Chain A
Amino acid sequence: MIADSAKSAAIDPADERPVPAAGGIGGTARALIERLRGGDLGSIPVAIGLLVIWAVFQLLNPNFLSSTNLVNLSMQSAAVGTIAIGIVLVLLLGEIDLSVGSVSGLSAAILAVGYVQLGLPLPIVLVASLVTGALIGLAFGLLRTRFGVPSFLITLAGLLSVLGLQLYVLGKTGSINIPFDSWIVQLGQQWFLPPWTSYSLVGVAVGVFGGTQYVQSARRKQAGLPATSVSLIVFRAAALLALLGVSTWYLNLTRGVGVMFALFLLLAVLTHYALTRTGWGRAVYAVGGNVEAARRAGIRVNRVYISVFMLCSMFAALGGILAAARLAAANQGSGGADTNLNAIAAAVIGGTSLFGGRGSAFSAVLGILVIMSITSGLTLINPDSSIRYIVTGVVLMLAVVIDSLARRSRAASGRA
């Protein structure tokens, strides 16, 4: 009988096929190549793309990779990058939020009107902006879960309504300047980490990274599970130290690491932690992968949707605050133009799949660096914005094509 012959085979303890190489640098490299072949590209294409973009612009204009320009680039990235973190979250669910630009504009308007015109204390105004964002997200989440309307339509409607709200809040003034001596504008324009602080932060980051990896590896070894070798951990930590150290050193040649940019990176790290190490994050990936399976596993799917829409709108509100801080003003154009598209494009270019369940918080960082590099590079060469839009569009298209191709090749190699 079939079952009997298979039973004897299955009981054979040697049958447990070997776990793909977990130890050693060579083994990891092989596993990586295997993953890439299977279409599990992750952040690789965008990292390569960023290097190519930088090389091309540096050839066209030798000022592009100057410390001054890179400091500017980092400061410009923070606001839209923060919005992109929220977009990553909704994309992980397989949803979309088209209203983030408007929400950021509304939040900037509330900041300016509350702080400048009404003279309210800054912390209260900031909290009011964030709470408004959260409420808008809550509305989207409820509409999505109660009525099952596609988020594309809900947030498209939201885009218009919130834009109207922004114009209403601004009133007849249209444009409000925020005083330069307020700390929020200082944050957006003047605050840079002192060199020693920036280097210590790099040290702390690498220490925490290496430390948690080591502790994890030791626990796994103790539990008899395949563990990352110490040499590999040291290698990874050294690579991270080199990357962060050199970047910090280079930015410190001129103004240094902006507090706002550091805040953006911190938010990305925190989001990454929440996504990968908490039950909530696991639920987000599960819902993005298979809603019905998540529901049957007892995950409260509606709560996941609502929490993600709320977080996305709050990130958008925070991004709007940062943008207003950098501009030292809020006006009717705040959050308009390409804010929306840049934030969504950043998340997708960074490697977060439009199809849900695949991506990382760091794709917001990588993606926004790509977009801001293109913007900054083209501005250096030719200040006309027409070409900038075209090139950004083409890069976005490339990213989406890569995403679709990767998806197809995952399907072909059974990783879909």
Chain B
Amino acid sequence: MSYVSAAMQGRPRKAEQLLSLRGISKRFGAVRALNNVDLDVYAGEVVAIVGDNGAGKSTLVKILAGVHPPDEGTVSFAGVPTSIPTPTDSRDLGIATVYQDLSLCDNLDVVSNLFLGRELRKGGALDEVEMEQRSWTLLRELSARIPSVRVPVASLSGGQRQTVAIARSLIGEPTVMILDEPTAALGVVQTAEVLNLIERLRERGLGVILISHNIADVQAVADRIIVLRLGRNNGDFRVADVTSEMIIAAITGASDHGTSPSDLLREARR
């Protein structure tokens, strides 16, 4: 990849590029959900994708999660061009998606939820001891605040449930994690807990894609902010360089950052 985004220039460390999307477009009938969108994710980096309703955030996530294939554009994973036709392919690539509804079974305890669908077995029966031990290890690594791993998930707070959902996707040892509105329904303390957790993920060297409406949250944890507007890139900022006013201006369209170098390149080729 010769293209280096504006935000990446002058980056102090040489991070490994995990995910690279170029010129992604997606149509639903007459609606252009995504139009020529670029996205890069590096290891140990939190990329926030922000935008108004209908900006194409969810569609972009679903393309990465393997729910929708893109109509146009290329996806590269660790520099290798690839395609993500199904959710299983996404998971096999090492992309973990935590949906907004968390997909937890309320009637099961934390351990059962963490290992759901990939239970550890010993002689044919479930190995509860090993699973519980690993659950504690994982939750401690994440500095998660969970009172007990043997209570039904329903009795946990919103932040704790989010933590369980994120911890669960870590069990598959992904390299990229997508978090869809992780703080949308949370209170102040719980939001702080989840933001903390996102920093833990970055420390573990994961590339984190954070979808959010909340500019304050995004500024608190993200390294880079990608703004989408009406299905197009409308800005790629380093957090240190921008104010929330600038981000909001880009979201609402008061400022235009839409022409990225790759756009110019493509225009020039025509």
Q: Verify B154–A282 contact, CB threshold 8 A.
A: no
- Provide the residues of chain A in CB contact with B189, threshold 8 Å: 6
Q: Which of B119, B147, B154, B196 contacts A10 (CB 8 A)?
A: B196
Interface flags, B90-105, vs A, CB<8A=1, else 0: 0000000001011111
Interface residues on B, range: 35 or more
Measured CB to CB, the nearest residue on chain B to A216 is: B129
Distance A20 CA – B155 CA, assembled complex (angstroms): 13
| Set of chain A residues within 8 Å of B121, measured between Cβ atoms | 279
A289 at the A/B interface (Cβ < 8 Å)? yes
> In the complex, A17 Cα to B195 Cα: how many Å?
20
Q: Is the CB of A5 within 8 A of B192?
A: yes
Counting contact residues on chain A (CB < 8 A from B), the size range is 35 or more
**Do A292 and B103 touch (CB < 8 A)?**
yes
A18 to B145: give the CA distance in the assembly, Å.
11
Among the listed B102, B106, B195, which residue makes an inter-chain contact with A416, where contact means beta carbons less than 8 Å apart?
B106
Contact A286:B155 (CB < 8 A) given known A7-B196, A7-B199, A278-B124: no
A3 engages B192 (CB within 8 Å): yes
A337 is an interface residue with CB less than 8 A from chain B: no
Total number of A-B contacts with CB less than 8 angstroms? 125
Selected interface stretch from A115-123, A220-228, A257-265, A395-403: A220-228
The verdict on B248 contacting chain A, using a C-beta distance below 8 Å, is no
Measured CA separation A277–B125 after assembly (Å): 5
Q: Is the pair A2, B129 in contact by a Cβ cutoff of 8 Å?
A: no
Closest to A6 in B: B192
Q: A11-B143, A279-B121, A357-B105 are in contact. Are A6 and B196 (CB under 8 A)?
A: yes
Q: Is A2 within 8 A of B106, CB to CB?
A: no
Q: Is A390 positioned at the interface, with any CB of B under 8 Å from its CB?
A: no
What's the minimum C-beta distance from B190 to chain A, rounded to whole angstroms?
9
**Of A293, A358, A414, which is within 8 A of B155 by CB?**
A414
Which of A5, A225, A415 has a CB less than 8 Å from the CB of B133? A225
Give bound CA distance, A277 to B131, whole Å. 13
- Contact residues of B with A, CB < 8 Å? 87-88, 99, 101-108, 112, 116-119, 121, 124-126, 128-130, 132-133, 136, 140, 143-145, 147-148, 150-152, 154-156, 188-189, 191-193, 195-196, 199, 220-221
A interface residues with partner B (beta carbon < 8 Å): 1-3, 5-7, 10-11, 15-20, 38, 216, 219-220, 223-225, 277-279, 282-283, 285-286, 288-290, 292-294, 296-299, 357-358, 410, 413-416
Q: List 26 A-B contacts (CB under 8 A).
A: A1-B220, A2-B220, A3-B195, A5-B192, A6-B193, A6-B196, A7-B196, A10-B193, A16-B145, A17-B148, A18-B147, A223-B133, A224-B133, A277-B125, A277-B126, A278-B126, A286-B105, A286-B108, A293-B102, A294-B117, A296-B87, A298-B117, A298-B118, A357-B108, A410-B154, A414-B156
